[in-house]
Structure 1
Amino acid sequence: MTRRWFGSVRSRATLAATLVVAVALLAAGAAVLLSLRSDLTGQAESEAASAARAVAVELSDGRPYDKLTGLDEDDRPVQIVDERGRVVAVSEDLERVTGTGADTARPGDPGGRAGGDADDDADDSDDANGSDGPDDDAAPRGEVDSDTDFSTGTATIDGTTADYRFAAVEVEFEDRGKFTVYAGAPLAAERSAVGTATTAMLIGFPLLLAVVAGATWLVTRRALSPVEGIRREMAAITASEDLARRVPVPATHDEVARLALTTNETLAALESSVERQRRFVADASHELRSPIASLRTQLEVGAAHPELLDLDGAVTDTVRLQTLAADLLLLARLDAGERPGDARFDLGALAREHAEGRAGVTVTADEVPVAGSRAQVGRVLTNLLDNARRHARSAVTVGVRAEREWAVVAVADDGDGVPEADRERIFERFVRLDEARSRDDGGAGLGLAIARDVAVRHGGTLTVGRAPAGGALFELRLPRAR
């Protein structure tokens, strides 16, 4: 069942469209989440940097720790660390902090880092607790670093722990050394927005994919329904062997409609080919029946009365039967698509060779090389010469010339010519224009049909017109050999 489902064009198109949309949605969703996270994190960094720099400016002005306004905010963690890693001041209600390099939150703690010897710790204890910090008038001013560093960590304020983006700004004093001010901005908005967007995508994307899959399934079903109609009709034609039937052509003027038109054209060509084959078999049977019956009659008479045996007539019927069989065999090979080959030969020399010994035939032939089957082209020349001699009063002319990319053979006679209405009909198989003509003189009506088929197989043409002397002019055009 699964294999049959995947064997359907509609199912494969639905699966492909769904996969493409899924990949596009995943890529777009990832880009949106990254952009949203980057924007919100940048906003938090801006807030944290602004807060840290404000505290750093106050600190650089020599304001005591207990008078720093940035330390009074309840919802923003601020921490000041000296160059030995000791916490010298923190914001109110800050209980614990991570991500600032000094994890302890209370002033006077070394933050887990070496803070110097005991004497230094004792000397700086007052400053660290803010009881003897610099005043506004006496303390020298410090220099605030223009660079800001960022880190991510957590802070516990009044028992509540949350994620923060910390900004670090350094302040350097000549006598007191370097201090680092850490100020944090909450990442709750970023976490909430990203979480909400992720949840919306997890819910919306499957629904959107389901809609895409359903729409693709319905659209492809509607688009391919004419194809199914064509398939059913072709199956019915195959079962009934009725080549006169045609598949339905949708009124969409698209690829499916063109497929239906092409299919009907193929059916028409196939019907014509089969009908032509049937006529060919019927005509061939009819043509073969006469010489075979005549030959049998003569042989039966000869067997009963040897003195009455007409050997000349038997030989004539045998030759005629042999010629007809050869013609039928050549037509069968041409219908089967036999390739003419690519041998090079001189068409003028070939024309002179086939005209040699024929009474009343004049040849004017240039040297023109062509490629193909020398035997088949020679058969064309023989058929044209036989046909011209049969209808000529006294003379037949043959001319071979080069005309741009073509090699042209013109065979003309001085007979009555071919009526314009019959100039295409004479190339049909088993067609004789002069029905009163004897079968022995007229042949089976295959010579010109064979000649045109050979010309077409060689990439050329064979046409008939009016000769200057009033008779028929046959022109054979073959591509010149390069």
Structure 2
Amino acid sequence: MADRPRWWSSVRARTTAMATAVVAVALVAAGLAVLAVLRHNLVDSAGLQAESTARNIAAQVAAGTDFANLELPDADSQPVQVVSAERRVLAADDDLLGRGPMAEFSPAAESESEETDDEEDEDESEEHESKQVSAPDSGAIAFRDMRLPVAHDDTGSHEFRVAALQADTRAGQDITIYAGASLAIADNAVAGVRRAMLIGLPLLLALVASVTWLVTRRALRPVEAIRTELAEIMGGDLSRRVPVPASHDEIARLATTTNTTLTALEESAQRQRRFIADAAHELRSPIASLRTQLEVAKAHPRLLELDGLIADSVRLEHLAADLLLLARLDAGEQPRTDRVDLAALIHDEIAHRTGDLHPVHVVIPEDRIAVLGSRIQLGRVLANLVDNAQRHAATAVRITLTHNDNEVVLAVSDDGTGVPLADRDRIFRRFVRLDDARSREDGGAGLGLAIVRDVVERHRGEIRVDDSTDGGARFAVILPNADR
């Protein structure tokens, strides 16, 4: 398939071409309709003129005027013939007197034809008995468009509107009066209008194309400015923004949305850079510790401390798992929608915790409380909250579970020093530790609460920090009730 021409790839060119084509089709259709209506009206006017002439001749005949003394109009524009029932020309202009009837139709024939058609439509299966169609009353008239050889022209190139009028003489003789009216005026008028349209159509289409081209260029100028700025921004500087036109239209809203997207991309890039830097910093410490211990063990095998190697390896494993989970969450991975029994989840988590420094007290109602989500990720939320409470508790940790028709609240509290009001949002940022938990051995890598918030938000919930009744901090996870 051949490629489209380059000019067609332009919105402005396509819009101009389509608009011009639509206007051209509309103008041609309208022009044809105007010409048809104009000719129809002019033909009707000629028919009225022919009828008036025929009735004038009929009035003269009815008044007893001899056929030779009839006042006839000019045969060049209004030919007239008076024809007997035997199809003999009784009166006509000199040009038509020596000729036969200029027309072969009559009101009687027209009436008979119409009656025959009506009978066939009513019952085509019946056999029609032959009958004589009576002639119409005097004054019946019929019309036809036909070519007549007039003005010494036998080519028949002149077209007329011919009226056939049924009439009677004073003596009771049936006659047919044929009166024609030239359609040359109608044809000339239609031809003149058609020529004017053909001359004006290209000019009008050129005007439409020019106006469409200019208007489209003006309308798309902000889009080109946005595209140019975006091309430069994608070169690396996400702090720049595209220009917003003052038109307050769709293009302005597009520019505003684009700037909002660029702001989100800039923030995401900054978070990614900080995340990579913090991850590299956190990974460097256990890796350096492992390398140091392995180098010492190589030089002095008797000084090898397996407990330290295992602790650093476990810490490195946990850190890698946390980083992997955060990367999956940042990639937009959606959690499962399994039905999770939170009471069973709490019991399972407490059952396998054997090395906790402080006891954990659990307050759970007897009825089943369930939410929709990933059991593994929700278990990770609970484990991280309990680990955080264990690091800050003085004597004990408490887990409570409550619910209503719409929400389930899982709360983990301790009796430590609590979280200052100014730090209650900061502690959920990645690699953030409070001053009293700055030790990497005691305070972790600073990813636990960040994982909690991200997982809870992926489950359409929220987490809040307030003061515990035991004097420490209370972390409340609020999730939608699966039974609502």
Shorter-normalised TM range: 0.7 to 0.9
Q: Do the aligned partners of 1:355 and 1:361 also contact (CA within 8 Å) in 2?
A: no
Query: 1:341 pairs with 319, 333, 336, which one?
Result: 336
Structure 2 residue 236 is matched with structure 1 residue 224: no
Aligned to 1:354: 349
Quote the Cα distance in structure 2 between the aligned partners of 1:189 and 1:465: 98
Q: Do the aligned partners of 1:412 and 1:473 also contact (CA within 8 Å) in 2?
A: yes
Q: Do the aligned partners of 1:144 and 1:172 also contact (CA within 8 Å) in 2?
A: no
Structure 1 residues 76 and 238, CA, compared in 2 at 3 Å: closer, same or farther?
A: same
User: Per-residue deviation at 1:72?
Assistant: 7.3
After TM superposition, the structure 1 stretch with the greater mean CA deviation from structure 2, 452-461 or 272-281, is: 452-461
Q: Do the aligned partners of 1:143 and 1:172 also contact (CA within 8 Å) in 2?
A: no
Quote the Cα distance in structure 2 between the aligned partners of 1:172 and 1:28: 46
Instruction: Give CA deviations for 1:251-290 in whole Å, capped at 9, x if unaligned.
Output: 2222222222222222221111111111111111111111
Aligned to 1:152: 145
List aligned pairs for 1:189-200, cutoff 5 A. 189-200=185-196
Aligned to 2:253: 258
Aligned to 2:444: 443
User: Per-residue deviation at 1:435?
Assistant: 5.2
After TM superposition, the structure 1 stretch with the greater mean CA deviation from structure 2, 43-52 or 229-238, is: 229-238
Quote the Cα distance in structure 2 between the aligned partners of 1:97 and 1:246: 91
After TM superposition, the structure 1 stretch with the greater mean CA deviation from structure 2, 296-305 or 265-274, is: 296-305
Quote the Cα distance in structure 2 between the aligned partners of 1:246 and 1:200: 54
The alignment partner of 1:69 has SS state of coil
The alignment partner of 1:182 has SS state of strand
Q: Do the aligned partners of 2:64 and 2:170 also contact (CA within 8 Å) in 1?
A: no
Amino acid at match of 2:203: L
Aligned to 2:309: 314
Q: Do the aligned partners of 1:74 and 1:92 also contact (CA within 8 Å) in 2?
A: no
After TM superposition, the structure 1 stretch with the greater mean CA deviation from structure 2, 307-316 or 153-162, is: 153-162
User: Per-residue deviation at 1:434?
Assistant: 2.3
The alignment partner of 2:204 has SS state of helix
Aligned to 1:375: 376
Q: Do the aligned partners of 2:16 and 2:212 also contact (CA within 8 Å) in 1?
A: yes
Aligned to 1:124: none
User: Per-residue deviation at 1:409?
Assistant: 2.2
Structure 2 residue 214 is matched with structure 1 residue 213: no
Query: 1:332 pairs with 306, 327, 335, which one?
Result: 327
User: Per-residue deviation at 1:196?
Assistant: 1.1
Amino acid at match of 2:16: T
Aligned to 1:396: 397
Quote the Cα distance in structure 1 between the aligned partners of 2:327 and 2:245: 38
Q: Do the aligned partners of 1:93 and 1:157 also contact (CA within 8 Å) in 2?
A: yes
Aligned to 2:35: 33
Amino acid at match of 1:267: L
Quote the Cα distance in structure 1 between the aligned partners of 2:377 and 2:100: 101
Aligned to 2:363: 363
Query: 2:103 pairs with 100, 104, 113, which one?
Result: 100
The alignment partner of 1:432 has SS state of coil
Amino acid at match of 1:171: A
Query: 1:16 pairs with 18, 21, 32, which one?
Result: 18
List aligned pairs for 1:160-175, cutoff 5 A. 162-171=158-167
User: Per-residue deviation at 1:326?
Assistant: 0.6
Quote the Cα distance in structure 2 between the aligned partners of 1:284 and 1:200: 80
Structure 1 residues 355 and 48, CA, compared in 2 at 3 Å: closer, same or farther?
A: farther
Q: Do the aligned partners of 2:72 and 2:92 also contact (CA within 8 Å) in 1?
A: no
Quote the Cα distance in structure 1 between the aligned partners of 2:240 and 2:372: 42
Amino acid at match of 2:363: V
Structure 1 residues 369 and 178, CA, compared in 2 at 3 Å: closer, same or farther?
A: farther
Quote the Cα distance in structure 2 between the aligned partners of 1:462 and 1:171: 106
User: Per-residue deviation at 1:231?
Assistant: 1.7
Give the root-mean-square deviation of aligned CA atoms: 2.8
Instruction: Give CA deviations for 1:8-36 in whole Å, capped at 9, x if unaligned.
Output: 11111111111111111111111111111
Quote the Cα distance in structure 2 between the aligned partners of 1:97 and 1:186: 19
Query: 1:247 pairs with 233, 242, 248, which one?
Result: 242
After TM superposition, the structure 1 stretch with the greater mean CA deviation from structure 2, 67-76 or 323-332, is: 67-76
Instruction: Give CA deviations for 1:272-319 in whole Å, capped at 9, x if unaligned.
Output: 111111111111111111112222222333333344333222222111
Q: Do the aligned partners of 2:89 and 2:100 also contact (CA within 8 Å) in 1?
A: no
Amino acid at match of 2:340: F
* Number of residue pairs the alignment of both structures matches: 443
| TM-score normalised by L of structure 1 | 0.84
Q: Do the aligned partners of 1:398 and 1:411 also contact (CA within 8 Å) in 2?
A: yes
Aligned to 2:129: none
Amino acid at match of 2:103: T
Aligned to 2:121: none
Aligned to 2:131: none
Structure 1 residues 97 and 421, CA, compared in 2 at 3 Å: closer, same or farther?
A: farther
Structure 1 residues 436 and 424, CA, compared in 2 at 3 Å: closer, same or farther?
A: closer
User: Per-residue deviation at 1:428?
Assistant: 0.9
Structure 1 residues 273 and 144, CA, compared in 2 at 3 Å: closer, same or farther?
A: same
Instruction: Give CA deviations for 1:339-366 in whole Å, capped at 9, x if unaligned.
Output: 3223222233223322345622323255
Aligned to 1:87: 89
Amino acid at match of 1:44: A
The runs of 5 or more residues in structure 2 that have no matched partner are: 106-134
Structure 1 residues 266 and 470, CA, compared in 2 at 3 Å: closer, same or farther?
A: same
Quote the Cα distance in structure 1 between the aligned partners of 2:276 and 2:380: 22
Quote the Cα distance in structure 2 between the aligned partners of 1:401 and 1:82: 114
User: Per-residue deviation at 1:391?
Assistant: 2.1
Q: Do the aligned partners of 2:244 and 2:255 also contact (CA within 8 Å) in 1?
A: yes
Q: Do the aligned partners of 1:77 and 1:183 also contact (CA within 8 Å) in 2?
A: yes
The runs of 5 or more residues in structure 1 that have no matched partner are: 103-141
| TM-score normalised by L of structure 2 | 0.83
The alignment partner of 2:394 has SS state of coil
Structure 1 residues 30 and 438, CA, compared in 2 at 3 Å: closer, same or farther?
A: same
After TM superposition, the structure 1 stretch with the greater mean CA deviation from structure 2, 205-214 or 2-11, is: 2-11
The alignment partner of 2:435 has SS state of coil
User: Per-residue deviation at 1:94?
Assistant: 3.9
Structure 2 residue 61 is matched with structure 1 residue 59: yes
